[in-house]
Amino acid sequence: MTRAAFVVSKHPFVGSDGETVLMKRLREAPTRMGRPNARSSLRRASARRFELVEVPKPRVRVGKLVAASAYRRRSLMHQRFSPPELVDALGSVDADTIVARRAYMAQAPLDANRVPPRDRLVVLVDVLESTVMRRRRGPLRPAYLAEARRTRRDEIRCVLAASDLAFFSDNEIDELSAAVPGGNRRFDLILPPAQSPAPLSEPVALFVGDRLYEDIRGAGELGMTTVQALWFRADEHPDGREPDHQAFTQLDVLNVARRLLDG
């Protein structure tokens, strides 16, 4: 029987953001596939047989983090999310498949040597931290751009070590996709529709697009509430318009819609 360990940065049972909703779907997948006895290394529950191993996040000490990052020639993000406690926990976890929720969460399995041929390592990618950094504005933008290059290098390194790369869209991660010999397997997540339409006191038009000029500006000028989709690409345009919201995953769009419905 395959035992899978999911390596995540957020508590999978607390909150209702895109991260926790996705983990809920992953936990339910074995049951939906007719395999109720399948295991993963999440919480042990009477009906689900999950086990949760919690590793406290160490407090950020900027000086120590920067020094360790420079010494190991590793980006700040990948150094931050591979603490010794997590590496030790992964070294002893009973699993033959390791699933890293983000590219930077694959760093700890690499440091614990939970990679092929010993284990199958799957990296789930829906948004790249290097892309997020490139979107940053302000006086620290040059530093973010420099760190984005280091982070992208680490993302590619983690993907090269993986057995499989899973993702929502081909557009944003062409570089990562090309780095994996033999191609990649695509991971699709489809959320069920709402049971009934939500009541609205007045109509609300929510426009989701990825282009700042052709999509966001046009919809904004028509009075629509705009959401820039960043899971395809991080578009920039000198004549574009700032969106009302940004969505790094499809689940973030649902959170925006929920906030609008709640007023």
What would the pLDDT profile of 71-98 be if each residue is shown by its tens digit? 999 999 999 999 999 999 999 888 888 9
Whether 163 and 226 have beta carbons less than 8 Å apart is answered as: no
CA distance 40 to 229: 31
List residues bridging with 24 in a β-sheet.
Answer: none
Q: CATH 3.40.50 in the chain, residues?
A: 3-179
- Dihedral angle, C-alpha 224, 126, 44, 106, nearest 10 °: -150
Q: Token pair of 14, please?
A: 């607390």
For residue 201, what are its two tokens?
């006191």
For residue 117, whether the previous peptide bond is cis, meaning omega lies within 30 degrees of 0, is yes
User: If you average pLDDT over residues 256-262, what whole number do you get?
Assistant: 80
Say if strands 245-247 and 225-229 run parallel, antiparallel, or are unpaired.
Answer: parallel
The CA distance from 30 to 6, in Å, is 14
* 241-252 pLDDT, tens digit each: 888 888 887 778
- Establish how many alpha carbons lie within 13 A of residue 170's alpha carbon, considering only the half-sphere containing its beta carbon: 5
**CATH number for region 3-179:** 3.40.50
pLDDT of amino acid 201: 53
Strand 206-209, strand 51-52: pairing: unpaired
**Whole-number pLDDT of residue 175:** 61
The pLDDT mean for the chain works out to 76
Residue 213 confidence (pLDDT): 86
Does the structure show a pLDDT above 70 at 187?
Answer: no
Q: Which of 20, 30, 29, 32 is nearest to 251 (CA)?
A: 20
